[in-house]
Structure 1
Amino acid sequence: MKKWIKPFTAMLMAVSLVGGLGGAMTASAAKSTEKGKIVINGSSALLPLTLQAASEFKKDNPKVKISASAAGSVTGPQSVRKGIADIGAVDWDASKDVPGFKKFDGQVAHPVAVTVFTAVVNTNVGVTNLTTKQLQDIFSGKVTNWKEVGGSDGKIVVVNRKFGSGTRVNFQQKALDGKDFMSKGDNYKEVGSSGDMKTTIETTPNAIGYIDLPYVTSKMKAVSINGVAPTEKNVLNKTYKVWGIGYYMTKGQPTGATKAFIEYIQSNKFQNGSLKKLKFIPLAAVK
């Protein structure tokens, strides 16, 4: 009896392994059946998320080509409307009217991430906290020197995003309570993307701007607002208010590879994995 137990056990293990491998091969094959091309345009705040998701998705779907660019949130749904993009990445729900922008009829909004926005300053600025009123005064041009808000003597350089930026929409509405930005002056700069904002803040002494957390580096300082730091913890405990939900807009309900890609970025695997590592917050965490 003992003589054939081990061979029989080994045979069972082999059958089990073959079955397991067959299942894995079937699952892998199922993952790779999607094919086609997905064109994504829009929010530069969401670009790190889009690029990471695309890299992961293409590993399991090698027949799908994904191209992504970022020229500002409003260009996302505009590109979808024109038929030159399958997905428009935007920092607000563009299927509804928001201050300054009419809704894009016929488009469906798919939430993909919670984005935390923060005021940022160059590392030479000695200020780490500002009140809502101080931010309003700085970005409107009323306050022009850091010593007026507790910093050392230095002329403030205000860096703003161009009109159409979703980061600008969120920061203006939630950090400035809707107050207007200044729009000109020798201490005023305007940039076209989150990447441009990052570079400008890092390299411009006395500069202040705003950006989403994935772009914050050691060459700048994220500023607390009313004593509350821009962290995931403070968003979830409802003490930090400057955040928003990022969306992928599609013309009608998506199908094929586009649908599969959106489902991947909304999946628990991605939401609780790479998305969190990139300093975004999972959608389920704020429900």
Structure 2
Amino acid sequence: MSGIPWELVLAIIGVLVPIAAFLWEFAVVGRKRLGYRVQMDTTPTDVSPAHAGAWRRLERESGERLVDPSFALLRIENVASAPITESDYSAPANTEVGLWARFPGRRVTGVVVTELSDPALGRYFADDAPGLGMRDTQEGAVTVGIVELPKVKLNPGAHYKVLVVLERAGDNDLQFPEPEVVGTVSGGGDGKILKTKGQTGTPRWVVALVCFLLMIGLAEPFLFEVTGDDPAPLDCASGELTVVGSTAFRSVLREAGESYRDSCPEAEIELRLDNSHQGLRALDESGERGVLAFSDGPKGDRMPALVPRPVALLLFTVVIHPDTGVHDLTSAELREVFAGEISNWRELGGNDLPVRIVDREAASGTRATFEERVLGGVKEPGENTEDCVSAPRGEVARCRRDGTDELLGAVAQTPGAIGYAELKAAQGRGEVQLVRVDGQAASAKAAEAGAYPFWQTEYAYTRGVPAADSLPMSFLRFLTNQRGADIIRSHGNTPCQDLRNPVTCRPEPAP
């Protein structure tokens, strides 16, 4: 299906359908067509005898008064695109009659032509002209008045009107069947004369055609979506890309990589996310242009060959084991806890449980952010181990984990444990409790107002400036377009373009 040029197919349909509809309506079916209208058919049954006037004196030539007289005004017209000649009428060649107007339940007592669109038509209705006449016929028990109309030559749009005087026949009800005009002409469809109406708006076939073309336009994107084997590659690049660095940004990069590959199947993206520092070092030492490194925070003065680009504002949170009974800690209390000055949670109003600290390795960007923004630049003291429970006499137990998920797992499994992690990842772990800092829960609004301190700018780094059509640059553009920005938002982070100052990508309170 992908080899079919659907854009061209739909464009051709959009052109051919109106042309075919026009030709069908005016050149095939409607090339020659007669129509008639019943513009008046009335019986003055409510006229008071005292005011009937001349109406009361309507009578036959014999002087006998008409029985329940009525009037009917018929309009006969050429509603097609070609002239109708005398030879087009399908009536027998030996008669001048071309059409018949029928009035069931009534007799015809008089006929007069009241209007001609062209005075030249008058020759068909002169006193000595054959074809115009009237008679009555019996069809079973019903009397039918007949008006015979001549084979009139009518150019497109031409018409004439016939006024018919009638009376009730027999004991029929005054609610007579509607008059009809019968006859056929050759050269258009079935040739039958059509009952028409005054056209005051857009013809129905034109409305139907417009609706069809509108449906084509609305269906076009859907057809491209369901019939194409591959999505349309917008700003796609091919090749291989290795993404290294921050584990805090792992969930965003995993989903973004899958979404990019869905749109650009010739791209291969591999994630090797250990921590921010190792990712930067791997990029710096690789010397390759097919590597992207993501870091929680700027690299500083080191590795001058690496070029930064801010991508998003990340929120982090302090997490704690639920059994501690602690929900809110000030920045000063957190400094005391991570400095090892508080050994039991009851010292802070919590439960009688020993404090056990789970932190990240020294090269972690999340740890660097925690030390900078929450601990006020104070480094976490001492070396830590893999053991989160045991501690030397008089010291607080301290253990290290290499990634965000590993840290959250250790806090969840260790009574009295406290640590820190990327917000969205922590929210997905119901076994840990999120701690308010200085009374503020982690939120973009609180960070923007300057009330919540635990945040960091996520940077993407390249070695030098890759070519604009390279896979690293294409993937970076994807992260900043609508789809990439939506993925960033869905993981609880804020794209730089959503902030007050997208260039610095930092929270800035409103002036």
Give the TM-score taking structure 2 as reference length.
0.51
**CA distance 1:143–1:243, change in 2 (3 Å):** same
**CA distance 1:210–1:14, change in 2 (3 Å):** closer
Equivalent residue number for residue 491 of structure 2 = 278
Out of 396, 402, 407, the position equivalent to 1:197 is 407
Out of 100, 108, 116, the position equivalent to 2:315 is 116
* Counterpart-to-counterpart distance in 2, 1:32 and 1:140: 50
- 3-state SS in 1 of match to 2:320: strand
Out of 73, 79, 86, the position equivalent to 2:291 is 86
Count of aligned pairs between the two proteins: 279
Kindly indicate whether structure 1 or structure 2 has the higher relative contact order, using CA contacts under 8 Å at least 6 residues apart: 1
Equivalent residue number for residue 223 of structure 1 = 435
Out of 480, 485, 488, the position equivalent to 1:266 is 480
- 3-state SS in 1 of match to 2:489: helix
Equivalent residue number for residue 446 of structure 2 = 234
Alignment of 1:144-223 (within 5 A): 144-184=343-383, 186=391, 187-216=397-426, 217-223=429-435
* Counterpart-to-counterpart distance in 1, 2:211 and 2:272: 53
Amino acid at match of 2:292: I
**CA distance 1:11–1:80, change in 2 (3 Å):** same
Q: Could you tell which deviates more after superposition, 39-48 or 180-189?
A: 180-189
8 Å CA contact 1:127, 1:151 repeated in 2:
yes
8 Å CA contact 1:236, 1:285 repeated in 2:
no
Q: Could you tell which deviates more after superposition, 237-246 or 166-175?
A: 237-246
**CA distance 1:246–1:3, change in 2 (3 Å):** closer
**CA distance 1:60–1:147, change in 2 (3 Å):** same
* Counterpart-to-counterpart distance in 2, 1:118 and 1:19: 47
Gaps of 5+ in 2: 1-24, 26-202, 385-390, 392-396, 502-511
Q: CA deviation at 1:62?
A: 0.8
Q: CA deviation at 1:7?
A: 6.7
Equivalent residue number for residue 248 of structure 2 = 45
Q: Once the two structures are superposed, what CA deviation does each residue of 1:216-257 show, in whole Å capped at 9, x if it has no partner?
A: 122111111111211222112221011011111101123311
- 3-state SS in 2 of match to 1:39: strand
Q: CA deviation at 1:10?
A: 6.3
Structure (1 or 2) with the greater helix fraction:
1
Equivalent residue number for residue 5 of structure 1 = 206
**CA distance 1:5–1:221, change in 2 (3 Å):** same
* Counterpart-to-counterpart distance in 2, 1:285 and 1:19: 33
* Counterpart-to-counterpart distance in 1, 2:437 and 2:207: 69
Out of 327, 330, 333, the position equivalent to 1:134 is 333
Equivalent residue number for residue 100 of structure 1 = none
**CA distance 1:200–1:7, change in 2 (3 Å):** same
* Counterpart-to-counterpart distance in 1, 2:215 and 2:482: 33
Q: CA deviation at 1:19?
A: 7.0
* Counterpart-to-counterpart distance in 2, 1:6 and 1:241: 62
Amino acid at match of 1:180: K
**CA distance 1:33–1:221, change in 2 (3 Å):** closer
Q: CA deviation at 1:142?
A: 1.2
* Counterpart-to-counterpart distance in 1, 2:316 and 2:488: 16
- 3-state SS in 2 of match to 1:49: helix
8 Å CA contact 1:44, 1:73 repeated in 2:
yes
**CA distance 1:79–1:171, change in 2 (3 Å):** same
Q: CA deviation at 1:29?
A: 3.8
Out of 442, 452, 456, the position equivalent to 1:244 is 456
8 Å CA contact 2:313, 2:455 repeated in 1:
yes
**CA distance 1:3–1:32, change in 2 (3 Å):** same
* Counterpart-to-counterpart distance in 1, 2:348 and 2:220: 68
* Counterpart-to-counterpart distance in 2, 1:211 and 1:265: 22
Amino acid at match of 2:425: Y
Alignment of 1:66-81 (within 5 A): 66-81=269-284
- 3-state SS in 1 of match to 2:488: helix
User: What's the Cα RMSD here?
Assistant: 2.4
* Counterpart-to-counterpart distance in 2, 1:147 and 1:33: 57
Amino acid at match of 1:61: C
8 Å CA contact 2:235, 2:474 repeated in 1:
no
Q: Could you tell which deviates more after superposition, 68-77 or 8-17?
A: 8-17
Gaps of 5+ in 1: 98-102
Q: Could you tell which deviates more after superposition, 15-24 or 52-61?
A: 15-24
Give aligned-pair identity as a percent. Answer: 23
**CA distance 1:257–1:146, change in 2 (3 Å):** same
Give the TM-score taking structure 1 as reference length.
0.88
